[in-house]
């Protein structure tokens, strides 16, 4: 799957960028972040492709949660859901 440069979520366009992480982020396993006010999703380009895609799904779920769910999901819930979505799409060969 090719991660797009922008994605529309809930009527908003988010710019998606890959960036190099710093050492602190690598140690915390923080491979992505979303700046909702700037409509910007950043993904660590130093991780493998599978991790980048799963991180992209993770950040999309954060956006959906902010826009539609008033930030009701925990970080753990978002992580589990993003891993589940990645697994289902990967195992069913829906990621091209």
Read off the pLDDT of residues 54-71 as tens digits, 9 standing for 90 and up: 999 999 999 999 999 999
1-51 pLDDT, tens digit each: 999 999 999 999 999 999 987 655 555 678 999 999 999 999 999 999 999
Mean pLDDT value of segment 69-74: 96
Please check whether residue 1 lies inside any domain of the structure: no
Please check whether residue 39 lies inside any domain of the structure: yes
Please check whether residue 68 lies inside any domain of the structure: yes
pTM over the 0.85 mark: yes
The one-character DSSP state at 47 is S
The one-character DSSP state at 36 is T
Please check whether residue 10 lies inside any domain of the structure: yes
Please check whether residue 48 lies inside any domain of the structure: yes
Please check whether residue 22 lies inside any domain of the structure: yes
Angle between helices 75-91 and 49-69 (to 10 degrees): 130
pLDDT at 90 over 80: yes
Check residue 21 and give its pLDDT.
Answer: 74
In Å, how far are 3, 10, 25, 71, 77 from 52, measured between CA atoms?
Answer: 8, 22, 14, 23, 18
Q: How many domains does the chain have?
A: 1
The parent domain of residue 42 ranges over: 6-91
């Amino acid at each position: 799957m090719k991660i797009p440069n922008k994605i529309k979520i809930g009527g908003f366009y988010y710019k998606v960028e890959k960036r190099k992480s710093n050492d602190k982020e690598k140690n915390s396993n923080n491979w992505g972040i979303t700046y909702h006010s700037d409509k910007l999703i950043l993904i660590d380009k130093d991780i493998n492709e599978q991790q980048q895609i799963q991180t992209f799904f993770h950040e999309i779920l954060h956006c959906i949660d902010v826009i539609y769910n008033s930030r009701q999901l925990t970080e753990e819930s978002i992580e589990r859901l993003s891993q589940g979505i990645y697994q289902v799409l990967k195992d069913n060969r829906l990621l091209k």
